[in-house]
Structure 1
Amino acid sequence: MELFKSLSTVATAASFACLATGVQAETWKYAIEVSQGDIQDMYAQEFKKRIEAKTDGDVEVKIYYGGTLGTSADATELVADGALQFANISLGHLGTFVPEIQLFSIPFILSENNEVNKQLMTDSSTVYQGMEQSFSSTGLRLMSIYSEGEDAWAANREVHAPADLDNFKMRILVSPLQVEAFKDLGASPTPLPFGEIYGALQLKMIDGVGQPISSVYQSKFFEVTDYLISARHQLFTSSIITGDDWFQDQPAERQQLIRDTMTEVTHYMMDEVPRLEQEFLARILKEKPEMTYISLNESERNAFRARAEQTRKKFVDMTDGKGQQILTDFLAERAELEQRLN
């Protein structure tokens, strides 16, 4: 509530400033994949608040919610064309445009240290310098990556081991590597549009879906599943992208302002997400007491971790010879940060 009060105050101040000067605020259009109240929305609202305050009302950020501007692929193309300034795109979707970014679809690729992941997602030279040319060739620029929380499984049956995923239809994003990753974990990956997940779970057309706990709650997937399984195999990662041409046309100080603000918001939200996860989990268990929450132990997780080694090899094969260097460099960055940040 305090967040939205402060946003209202900033917006009102910006309106008065524009009236006083007679100058119309520049509007930046920002699309997210989900509805109001989700973590993507919280990220967008925090970015809006900070940018509008830092520019003294010279910029207004207008947020468009899930589906308003079409699919995630549509939003990505609008960004590349300059018709949309920013879009929050899940990395599984983005991997169809830039195959190397599917690095984040490999299970167990990230650290279990949140501070390490914050640095990797905002300042990894492997990602931001090493993949820059691949992004710019599609008209895109990667501004930030952040975690919406653990990719938990809302499921219609209990899972403790890879064998439990035999003939298990797991809804996934349309991402070549994510298909292979869930095959490697033992499941039958089933690409499906987000809007069809609830009905498919209800009708038992699929057996489960991997989503942040916030999304399991906000999208009501817990209503039509019996188990919520925490394998802690992966973070649900999202990206903020902009158009490369649009960004290059901005003055240097404005470019730096955007970069700095994205980093600030990413660090802020990744500190908030663990607390928000617990709040959403508590709401799920309160509203559906019969829901069974399963947190896999280390032995159970190790069985899935061993399977993920196959996915690393497939990532290398899918990235035209670039993948091995990317994987090696990224793991080296992670190890150095883990040692330095303890």
Structure 2
Amino acid sequence: MDLLKPCTTLAKVVALASLAFTAQAETWKYAIEVSQGDIQDLYAQEFKKRIEAKTDGDVEVRIFYGGTLGTSADTTELAANGALQFANVSLGHLGSFVPEIQLFSIPFILSENNDVNKALMTESKTLYQDMSADFARNGLRLMSIYSEGEDAWAANRAIHSPEDLENFKMRILVSPMQVEAFKDMGSSPTPLPFGEIYGALQLKVIDGVGQPISSVYQSKFFEVTDYLISARHQLFTSAIITGDDWFNSLPPTRQQLVQDTMKEVTEHMMDEVPELERQFLAKIRQEKPELTYISLTEAERAPFRARAEQTRKKFVELVGTNGQTVLDNFLAERNRLEQQLN
């Protein structure tokens, strides 16, 4: 029996060492702009679940909620420097780094077919290849674009036409294209930090805000507005970015794993979002029955759609010589996919 003791002790040492090694999982930090329970959080949680399972626990994803690591500008800088592995940021914000990505600020630029938009947001050559050098020059890599749902308007008055937006102070991101887009639709665009929206709506400093219905509920904007308007003019799109140097430092198999998982999660969430929108809208209407929900008819949407043509011209002017190429290529991709998937 004494002869077995050293072997038993050695086995324990090996087992303990193995446990210690396993405990030191690589941590990937992932920042989102909003609070727990929002669609950005659901996306991040889905990515966390899948990547941790695929790496057998070798990677742990730690999620940081809105404001924890600073503003969107702060998290973008942290990602570029490799201090943060993933950041979920708005495309309006990213436009200050890569002007071409402000394509998504143009109303009616996307399809009304969810399958078409899924394909665009996961496979578009215009987005992931043609713009890659522009992102890399800023130390960034675009990993995914996905929809959080339609950009609905929580407002203090009814909107049925562009004329109803006259002298209407619409909160927007600090984005040149968003300014132009909302001017073209008839409103007075008013840049404002996200954290100030609730108070500004309550005090009538602004008249409304465009947000996904999930955010209207989670951030309680419906409490301080009387109307929720669905014009179906735009999807509220978000981007997942990482640092280009950090991504390139990963082994090729790990790079492919991240890319494949991001694509899977984007497709999964874009299938889930329509039902989530219905659930959040039901919660809003239950908690504030007196709120008026307006869904514009096709005839009411037509004048807004016509005004978006002017916004396309401004996009080209803003971006410069490459703007027309980006716009043409993206619309060609969209039209081709609509023919294939319709």
State the TM bucket, normalised to the shorter chain: over 0.9
Q: Report deviation, 1:22.
A: 4.4
Which amino acid in 1 is paired with 2:318? M
Within 5 A, what are the aligned runs for 1:108-147?
108-147=108-147
Unaligned runs of at least 5 residues, structure 1: 1-15
Within 5 A, what are the aligned runs for 1:1-342?
19=19, 21-22=21-22, 24-342=24-342
> Matches of 1:251 and 1:127 in 2, distance apart?
24
Q: Report deviation, 1:68.
A: 0.3
> Matches of 1:257 and 1:68 in 2, distance apart?
27
Which amino acid in 1 is paired with 2:124? S
Contact 1:18 1:24 in 2 (8 A): no
> Matches of 1:228 and 1:21 in 2, distance apart?
53
Which amino acid in 2 is paired with 1:100? E
Q: Report deviation, 1:320.
A: 2.0
Deviations 1:60-100 (A, max 9, x none): 00000000000001100110011100000011111111100
Which amino acid in 2 is paired with 1:301? R
Unaligned runs of at least 5 residues, structure 2: 1-15
> Matches of 1:17 and 1:181 in 2, distance apart?
59
| Distance 1:338-1:218 versus aligned 2 partners, 3 A rule | same
Deviations 1:192-216 (A, max 9, x none): 0000000000000000000000000
Secondary structure in 2 matching 1:223: helix
The answer for the alignment partner of 2:5 in structure 1 is none
| Distance 1:171-1:18 versus aligned 2 partners, 3 A rule | farther
**Higher radius of gyration, 1 or 2:** 2
> Matches of 2:40 and 2:170 in 1, distance apart?
23
Secondary structure in 2 matching 1:89: strand
* TM-score w.r.t. length of structure 2: 0.94
Secondary structure in 1 matching 2:321: coil
Contact 1:27 1:61 in 2 (8 A): yes
Q: What's the Cα RMSD here?
A: 1.2
> Matches of 1:69 and 1:24 in 2, distance apart?
23
Contact 1:231 1:295 in 2 (8 A): yes
Which amino acid in 1 is paired with 2:133? Q
Secondary structure in 2 matching 1:70: coil
Q: Report deviation, 1:19.
A: 2.8
Secondary structure in 1 matching 2:302: helix
Q: Report deviation, 1:20.
A: 6.4
Aligned residue pair count: 327
Which amino acid in 1 is paired with 2:281? L
Secondary structure in 2 matching 1:129: helix
Identity across aligned pairs (percent)?
79
Q: Which moved more, 1:20-29 or 1:272-281?
A: 20-29
> Matches of 1:316 and 1:127 in 2, distance apart?
16
* TM-score w.r.t. length of structure 1: 0.94
Q: Report deviation, 1:23.
A: 5.1
Contact 1:18 1:25 in 2 (8 A): no
